[in-house]
Amino acid sequence: MDNRMITGVALITIGLLGLVAFVPLYVTRLQSLDGWGLMGGMMGGMMGGYNANPSGQRITIDQASRIAQLYLASLGNPDIALDEIMEFQYNFYILFYEKSTGIRAFEMLVDPYTGQILPEYGPNMMWNTKYGMMGGGMMWGYSLSSTASIPVTKDQAKTLAEDYLRTYLPGATVEDPDTFYGYYTVHILKDGKIYGMLSVNGYNGQVWYHSWHGQFIQVKEF
């Protein structure tokens, strides 16, 4: 087994162990909420499975907003606020930000059939240096402090996103990136409409396409 494979296996193992440790940080905040089945199935969703049940009753974007507001209230942090909710085929994507800095804090998902709320997988968990699993850690040779000052600039992140899309989704464009702690998230446009999103790592420029949303439906801003 060569060094690259050994390193890959080690990183996957660390990531899975971190996921197990990370879940209780959010679960404990949800235990006092009821009426939406917020607790059930969180681990299944985090590991990449969809809990969508097309034969059931799909909740509305207003109901998803209420779930997000209940979750926000459970945090007890007056500096965190709702930015927007995007409805997709497989989930509602919820964006939170810091009022004091304007920096995006973290991303959550709401199951459109069960109303379960959980941290978005991918960059939100693995790259977020303040609110994610890697907060305060060390990766890629950089100290991951809780700061929005990262080596990859916003302009560079946009260029990296455009380069990625030229190969994998020709004809698509991007909006200006949203800045998080440790990474950027970028909305993808195709034919002038929202198509999806991807994230760019703020330390090494890696692009991570959000493959778990499905078709875009609508957006509600706050």
Tens of pLDDT, residues 20-77: 444 333 333 333 333 433 333 333 333 344 455 566 799 999 999 999 999 999 999 9
149: confidence class by pLDDT, cuts 50, 70, 90: confident
Contact at 8 Å (CB) between 95 and 105?
no
Q: Tokens in use for 160?
A: 């990296």
Give the SS3 label for residue 178: strand
* Between residues 148 and 61, the one the model is more confident about: 61
154, 182, 186, 148: which is closest to 169 by C-alpha?
186
Domain extents in the chain: 3-221
Structure tokens at 152: 């990859």
Q: Is-contact 166 219, C-beta < 8 A?
A: no
